[in-house]
Amino acid sequence: MSEKKKALNITDAEWEVMRVAWATEETTSKEVTDILNEKTEWKSTTVKTLLSRLVDKGMLGTKRNGNKFTYFPLVEERKSIEVLSEEMLTKVCSKKVGKVLESIIAESLLSFDDIDELEALLKEKRKSAVDVVPCNCTPGQCQCHLVH
Ligand SMILES: [Zn+2]
């Protein structure tokens, strides 16, 4: 087993709420409901449940302002995106990670700056590249162990 990094452990619905919290810095359940009603039909009770789960998980802090509660992020968006992408890559055979990255890049609209940064990163990665990436899977979860 590779070392286990701190998992994000939040659902897609909770992630939607976190995006509002990051964008607004401090928000209320009403504001989250209004913003997310552009793309979901979540009732305010649903949003309140999601907010309290995120508080339980340590992703959001909350404080009382008069008779209402406000919510603010306790984790950085940037850090969470890093954890999210690491999590995604642990779900595939390490031999296929290159292909996953390739398809992410192929499907993304990128700026010239993005491309400059990716090119610089790849140039740096070349220094530590290997001939063949070793498989890190549990035997039976990929086909690497069948072919020799
Ligand atoms: Zn494998």
pLDDT digits (tens, 9 = 90+) for 42-63: 999 999 999 999 999 999 999 9
Tokens of 127: 């220094």
Q: 90 CA to middle of ligand 1, Å?
A: 11
Q: 127 CA to middle of ligand 1, Å?
A: 24
Cβ atoms < 10 Å from Cβ of 80: 18
- Max mean pLDDT range (63-77, 79-93, 111-125, 127-141): 111-125
Q: 1 CA to middle of ligand 1, Å?
A: 13
pLDDT for 148 equals 52
Distance CA 41, CA 39 (A): 7
Q: Name the least confident of 3-12, 33-42, 59-68.
A: 3-12
Q: 93 CA to middle of ligand 1, Å?
A: 4
pLDDT for 12 equals 93
Q: 99 CA to middle of ligand 1, Å?
A: 13
Q: 135 CA to middle of ligand 1, Å?
A: 4
Q: Is 70 exceeded by the pLDDT of residue 98?
A: yes
Q: 129 CA to middle of ligand 1, Å?
A: 18
Distance CA 148, CA 13 (A): 43
Cβ atoms < 10 Å from Cβ of 137: 16
Tokens of 34: 């209004």
Sequence-distant (≥ 6) Cβ neighbours of residue 63 within 8 angstroms: 69, 70, 72
Q: 122 CA to middle of ligand 1, Å?
A: 23
Question: What confidence tier does 143 reach under pLDDT thresholds 50, 70, 90?
Answer: confident
pLDDT for 9 equals 82
Distance CA 14, CA 53 (A): 8
pLDDT for 56 equals 96
Q: Is 70 exceeded by the pLDDT of residue 65?
A: yes
Rg (C-alpha) for the chain, rounded Å, is 20
| Domain 12-73 CATH (choose: 3.40.710.10, 3.90.79.10, 3.30.70.580, 1.10.10.10) | 1.10.10.10
Q: What is the mean pLDDT of the chain?
A: 91
What is the mean predicted confidence (pLDDT) over 12-21? Answer: 96
